[in-house]
Amino acid sequence: MAKFYKCARKHGNRKTRGKGFTLAELLIVVAIIAVLVAISIPIFTSQLHKARVATDWANLRAYYAEIQADFISTGEYNDKVPYEDNKNFKDFILNEITFLNGQKVKMREGFFWVKPNAEKGYTIAYYCNNSDAECTLILDSYS
């Protein structure tokens, strides 16, 4: 009997081999993880796009508040604000905000333009680089 016990320990039997995972079980776990990753990647990229657009919008709202306050206090358009004058629209598509104090902020997901608004200040329009997404923002004194 002692010899059988030593032999079973040395070579393994059903009672001692059941402590690990089989290859089939590991493959099933890997397949489940792969499916979960495949589902989560599009959701993650969509949420990342929304977060970048929200950052752009927040920066543009701060910029708009600053240039509107400057216009209201002086009654004149500021030379530091690049705005579109209906001559060449493509030259005034901006990818970077330059605040009046000189601070610069790059747009993460889109572009914008600024236009004077008939003695009421400025109008800012923002559009996404991704044409499939709904992420347009218009800021003016009428809204």
Quote the tokens at residue 118: 């008939």
Share of the chain above pLDDT 90, in %: 52
The rounded distance, in Å, linking the Cα atoms of 109 and 52 is 6
Burial grade of 127 (CB within 10 A; 0-12, 13-18, 19 or more): middle
Residue 135 confidence (pLDDT): 84
**pTM exceeding the 0.85 threshold for the entire prediction:** no
Higher pLDDT, 36 or 89: 36
Quote the tokens at residue 135: 């992420």
